[in-house]
Structure 1
């Protein structure tokens, strides 16, 4: 195929992703130097369309960005009034006293928000500073300079045929070049993955760990609604099958954000994370809350859970990794947006200083140093042993040991357990199907629980069907020849959108089918496939979910 010729545009800084990290970086860049040219490229149809988060927001990052955010009208208006932490059994619960929890776990002074709406507001602030923001512009390739550094990205490519060749309405997109490129793609970003591998940024770090977060927005009976209430649970229905838990946040307008997180290091390949979430809603404590209500939105997203030990080197020749692309989530706090925003601010400071010195295309070492010496490191170091403990000992013992370790870190800056480590990837943690029992899940009732395809319709997901499948198989035979006999092909279950299925027809060999139109861009398949055979790449711009207020 002939080499594709593209036009190019030059900027001081190119930012991939209009999430909290990318937008915070863009805003601080323009605040520090209004003459800089800054562009933000977003693969969603609009800013916020692909943003999914719990979310209880720690405003520390927002305070740094706009101390007057309240006066500016930020959609951050529901302060947390009450914290609940429950251990669930099949029919009852135990309430964990919040005063026993380390102060860092308190949600006092935090806010229940829709991060999609927060990002839409941040985009307005950025555009007022003359940041250029282009939604619907998926970044499909890294542009490399002759010296091997990152030079830019290819964005806005449309019209490839299913076989990958240019179709009749092909548009090659443009190359956007920057003195520095910021990758703020979120968890397991497709371009971030490439630069991590090329520059070996994870050398000497623990493997990254992940969870799958699924979320529904419900409108509930006003008598059941307590605005500002935050509830987290552990225990049932997961039990010993997997780590994880739930969140229930009472937002404004009689809405609640209800979600379920399953740690992706689970061993039993028969586990069905989506059905665990649906079963959870039938617990008496939850079902009475939802009674008389209706679900109005659904979505799913992977969560980086490795913590401080798993952060890759975040600066490389020509660019940096921001936010969840670098894995900056505080797992026990279930918060990462504040660190994402602060990472964008730190990267902006480093880039402005470098550009003023006449530099470009080199490593912003000051940014990587700031990650390991500032507020982000302080936040993540205090909880660094919680996830390794959970992986090794399970929820109950890990809660006790992790709580003790966090208390000591909070009071004395000392970790009695030292630094614990992650030993293997989540994919490698998957066991053989023959070694684990199958799990019987109740059929969704259509009232509290729903089948996957019905729920996916509430994510407003759409993909142009004539484009190449963005879920690439390194070897198309592996799903049937390896994953099916060895692991009962877990893609049928770990995908929260019903993308993958094994079709068995009379007298014919099983077929592995990829319904990529259903994909909500959670990236779980890229993470959990035991053969690491699936590569998630970006579909054409604007495709995917269209979350209204996740």
Structure 2
């Protein structure tokens, strides 16, 4: 690492800079796997390499949320002795139960042959990805990687159309963006190559895709919102390794998604619901659908007598191969869910994110070993990706999401079962969904109203008590990180046409319509509640909201999600 002691002036703020060979943005599975693989190669070649990982969460894992049933394929390649090294991957899947929920009371358990084989989980593990990332961070640091938690990458440094690094966000600004007494200017982290591994809908990744036209000739990315709660349950209800998936109720036939309940270690179960963000009814509340879901007898039988101990939500990139952008550009790479490498046919993205990071590390190391000074477009990454099992997985699952969107849950599910089980995902045609998720909302006047029951505070709960369990915290005196391009749109357009769906699609109660002093409607943003799910950035029908990073360490502090 080189520290540039000469202060660099950017605008009216003087900033220090630090230089590395590689800077990685995001300490998730993709970013940490890239860092580890880079240093493994450097050690094997007896070469010095400086690698830095920047993480906006207060600690590694604080912003990590995933189901998660984990496929260890990439971990086996990256760290073959992970079991001996004490990786927190210990609860093997023992059994799969898959249901079609017909209504609030009834369900049909599906036989194995009627389920896509990608949904079978033999050889996989129920894990906390947050805890796995904490363990991966330890492995990375032992290899010499520098990890900076609590520092948010706020801007990309682009010079001569080449990425040169990132800018860490300023600390100590008031709500008007003016320096307070505690002001600390952000530092420039410069690198030969910068790797973006921010997770789904990364705000810098979003900018890079637009700036370099990385999604040219690609289907639009598609998203879902995933909810998760952790429950402590009585020993009599706990079956370590049991995996339950469901489709159908509470979602209507024209809304895609499904639920899950996994029996983890320590008498805990994790329960959640995934809802595709192409839903059309603006009255739909994903949060309230999740609360209803827990009342189904198949789910409630495991939660009864238990205690909810954690809550969170996160957007999921599910467009797959059809939506995968070009992942290299001048001076950098886009990896993991920042690009959209999740395999939705498996409902798994952690092993694919890790593999994308490992392939990126191999490409970067080869370039550095050949004496590169950085800055070029590493197109060799695309070749490495296409020759890997990661590409094969994404190719085989390319029709999975579009089939559900085109044909609905039942017939789309039947198509996917046929394609995966009989044709191995290799039918000689490709289905595509070219519609943007945010553009699918009907007018409120044309959509059916939905009446949700009040929470019973036993199985179902309200938003604010849920956000409390996410340990979310933001410095109140800072600029709002939820930017409106036009402050008039929420009332004049979104409220008038769609009954302002931000009130309902946000899982944390950030957006409200309240009455002002003149008894007129007012759009209120409670930015302190934000759990960084990015749903607003995706689903707003007017594309009027842009999520940017708040001060470093702000947001949720998930313990073991």
1:99 and 2:113 correspond: yes
Matched residue of 2:131: which SS?
helix
Taking the aligned partners of 1:381 and 1:2, their CA distance within structure 2 comes to 46
1:516 and 2:527 correspond: yes
Taking the aligned partners of 2:165 and 2:533, their CA distance within structure 1 comes to 25
CA offsets, 1:256-295, max 9 Å, x none?
0101001000000000000000001111111121110000
How far 1:330 moved relative to its partner?
Answer: 1.0
TM-score by length of 2: 0.96
Match of 1:400 among 414, 419, 444: 414
Match of 1:494 among 505, 508, 512: 505
1:205 and 2:218 correspond: yes
Match of 2:30 among 21, 27, 35: 21
Matched residue of 1:427: which SS?
helix
How far 1:506 moved relative to its partner?
Answer: 7.4
Matched residue of 1:41: which SS?
strand
Q: Tell me the equivalent position of 1:414.
A: 426
Q: Tell me the equivalent position of 2:336.
A: 323
How far 1:101 moved relative to its partner?
Answer: 3.1
How far 1:68 moved relative to its partner?
Answer: 0.7
CA offsets, 1:442-471, max 9 Å, x none?
000011000000000000000000000000
Match of 1:504 among 506, 512, 515: 515
Taking the aligned partners of 1:283 and 1:93, their CA distance within structure 2 comes to 9
Matched residue of 2:438: which SS?
coil
TM-score by length of 1: 0.98
Match of 1:114 among 107, 124, 128: 128
Q: Does structure 2 retain, via aligned residues, the 8 Å contact 1:21–1:184? A: yes
CA offsets, 1:138-196, max 9 Å, x none?
00111112x21000001152011211233332111110011100000000001111111
Unmatched 5+ residue regions in structure 1?
none
Match of 2:320 among 274, 293, 307: 307
Question: Number of residue pairs matched?
Answer: 546
Q: Tell me the equivalent position of 1:389.
A: 403
Matched residue of 1:347: which SS?
helix
1:373 and 2:387 correspond: yes
Matched residue of 1:424: which SS?
coil
Q: Does structure 1 retain, via aligned residues, the 8 Å contact 2:155–2:169? A: no
Match of 2:268 among 238, 255, 263: 255
Matched residue of 1:5: which SS?
strand
Taking the aligned partners of 2:212 and 2:315, their CA distance within structure 1 comes to 24
Q: Tell me the equivalent position of 1:6.
A: 15
Taking the aligned partners of 1:535 and 1:378, their CA distance within structure 2 comes to 34
How far 1:2 moved relative to its partner?
Answer: 4.3
1:437 and 2:445 correspond: no
Q: Does structure 2 retain, via aligned residues, the 8 Å contact 1:408–1:415? A: no
Taking the aligned partners of 1:442 and 1:369, their CA distance within structure 2 comes to 52
Match of 2:257 among 244, 249, 252: 244
Taking the aligned partners of 2:546 and 2:443, their CA distance within structure 1 comes to 22
Matches within 5 A, 1:115-264: 115-145=129-159, 147-264=160-277
How far 1:507 moved relative to its partner?
Answer: 4.2
Match of 1:461 among 460, 472, 484: 472
1:476 and 2:487 correspond: yes
1:536 and 2:547 correspond: yes
1:32 and 2:41 correspond: yes
How far 1:429 moved relative to its partner?
Answer: 1.1
Aligned Cα root-mean-square deviation (Å) = 1.2
Q: Tell me the equivalent position of 2:435.
A: 424
Q: Does structure 2 retain, via aligned residues, the 8 Å contact 1:461–1:520? A: yes
Matched residue of 2:14: which SS?
coil
More displaced stretch, 132-141 vs 88-97: 88-97
More displaced stretch, 22-31 vs 168-177: 168-177
Taking the aligned partners of 1:128 and 1:156, their CA distance within structure 2 comes to 27
Unmatched 5+ residue regions in structure 2?
1-9
1:265 and 2:265 correspond: no
Matched residue of 1:33: which SS?
helix
Q: Does structure 2 retain, via aligned residues, the 8 Å contact 1:74–1:121? A: yes
More displaced stretch, 353-362 vs 535-544: 353-362
Taking the aligned partners of 1:380 and 1:261, their CA distance within structure 2 comes to 20
Taking the aligned partners of 2:238 and 2:554, their CA distance within structure 1 comes to 34
Matched residue of 1:340: which SS?
helix
Taking the aligned partners of 1:421 and 1:309, their CA distance within structure 2 comes to 7
Q: Tell me the equivalent position of 2:3.
A: none
More displaced stretch, 61-70 vs 92-101: 92-101
Taking the aligned partners of 1:532 and 1:464, their CA distance within structure 2 comes to 26
Q: Does structure 1 retain, via aligned residues, the 8 Å contact 2:463–2:508? A: yes
Taking the aligned partners of 2:296 and 2:117, their CA distance within structure 1 comes to 29
